[in-house]
Amino acid sequence: MKKVLMLLTLVVYGMLMVHSARLPAMPCIECPSDFGVCEVKSEGKRLVRKKAAVTRDGKSWTIYRGDTELSGVSYAKLPKSLGLKWKFKTEGPVVSSAVVKDGVAYIGSDDGNLYAINIKTGKKVWAFKTEDPIEAPPTYYDGRIYFGSSDSFLYCLNAKTGKQVWKYETDDKIVGAANLYKRKDGGMIVVIGSHDSILHGVDAKTGKGIWKYETENFINGTPAISKGRAIFGGCDGYLHVVGIEDGKKIRSIEIGQYIIGSAALKGDDAYVGHYGNEVVAVDFDLGKTTWKYKDRNFPFHSSPAVTDKLVVFGGNDKRIHCVERKSGEAIWKFRTRSRVEASPVIVGNRVICGSRDGNLYVLNLKNGEKVWSYEIGKPVNGSPAVVDGLIIIGSEDGYVYAFGAKEGA
């Protein structure tokens, strides 16, 4: 009898294992479906939900820096030879960065408009006017666009029509992008910083405030998100770790200098530059700095791009730097002719980054050698969106540019 029971147990267990292997991918509790999925996997006799890799088809770029961890890595494929495909004129400098979904690019301008642009034709789809410049990059999720303006409002628009769904007021201008998180109750929360020194948690559906986390100075960058935590720096000189469900402080890690840009995450490590002439790696789970990189006495405003092995970032020393992720040891540097406040994006074996010298550069990721450049003529300070064979970026000359396969190449 015991042998029969053991045999039946093994059969049932085997059926469960086969069934679990066939379970479909499920929406991730932690990330919006545009940014990631979870898969159900088995561990022994327990079925455990685990976070899977972020969805990376190379056809969408729905958030500043490409994903909720702000890694600055694109999985698009670029042509070997690049050329200008189109340029779109706004009425003010463009320091905002684009996001792209379903063939439409969304980007702000200092003329106060958020523009929707057809990425094939370069023609305007719609424009939405705010009261002040829009430096903040927008974020796309589930048919809506979320973005902040220097008029102090966080806006939510219908992505197809450009019509306002709601707006939420802060007490000062917003220059960083929104990030999104799916709460345990299934509701989406928009997380965004403001120059009012507060990180705001806002209901994505209604625009109602959920919580506020107060710091001691301006918040310029975009909060990165990992494991239910928002990680961001501010002009108070701290890297903050905040629980997104309740907006409560988990820890604050002293950096000691203004943090202008956004932190990029890999595992439990955050990589961020600051005004004290360093880029640092911080274990935000333990609250400890693991390495510091300093080359010259110039600050770092650029937000890093991070792979498994490398960290790439721009500096006010006119250079683009590449270091080892684990150690912070320098690998290469590429010199431009002016400050690099722009944030690079890594695409395969290439690095794409603008400079205040008016050029957009494409470099070899392995050695930092220039592969291609395009002279725009005015500062390029934004982060490129790289999707479906195109590079889309704005410039202070008031234009949005798209580069793709060179004609006749």
Query: pLDDT, tens digit, for every residue of 247-279?
Result: 999 999 999 999 999 999 999 999 999 999 999
d(CA 111, CA 62): 23
Residue 74: which of 395, 356, 393, 397 has the closest Cα? 393
Please say if the pLDDT value at position 244 is more than 50: yes
Note the pLDDT of residue 32: 45
Q: Are residues 149 and 27 in the same domain?
A: no
d(CA 335, CA 348): 21
Q: What is the CATH number of the domain that holds 311?
A: 2.130.10.10
| Of 283 and 408, more confident | 283
d(CA 305, CA 322): 9
DSSP notation for 92-112: S---S--EEETTEEEEE-TTS
Q: Are residues 125 and 253 in the same domain?
A: yes
Q: What is the pLDDT of residues 358-400, one digit of tens each?
A: 999 999 999 999 999 999 999 999 999 999 999 999 999 999 9
The residues near 30 (Cβ < 8 Å, ≥ 6 apart) are 36, 38, 51, 181, 182, 225, 227, 228
Domain of 279 in residue numbering reads as: 56-405
Please say if the pLDDT value at position 199 is more than 60: yes
Please say if the pLDDT value at position 19 is more than 90: no
Among 15, 34, 50, the domain boundary falls at 50
Q: Are residues 77 and 207 in the same domain?
A: yes
Q: Are residues 157 and 34 in the same domain?
A: no
Q: Are residues 194 and 46 in the same domain?
A: no
Residue 303: which of 379, 384, 203 has the closest Cα? 384
Q: Are residues 177 and 298 in the same domain?
A: yes
Q: Are residues 38 and 74 in the same domain?
A: no
Q: Tell me which residue has tokens 């986390």.
A: 213
Please say if the pLDDT value at position 9 is more than 90: no
d(CA 238, CA 231): 10
How many domains are there within the chain?
2
Q: Are residues 13 and 103 in the same domain?
A: no
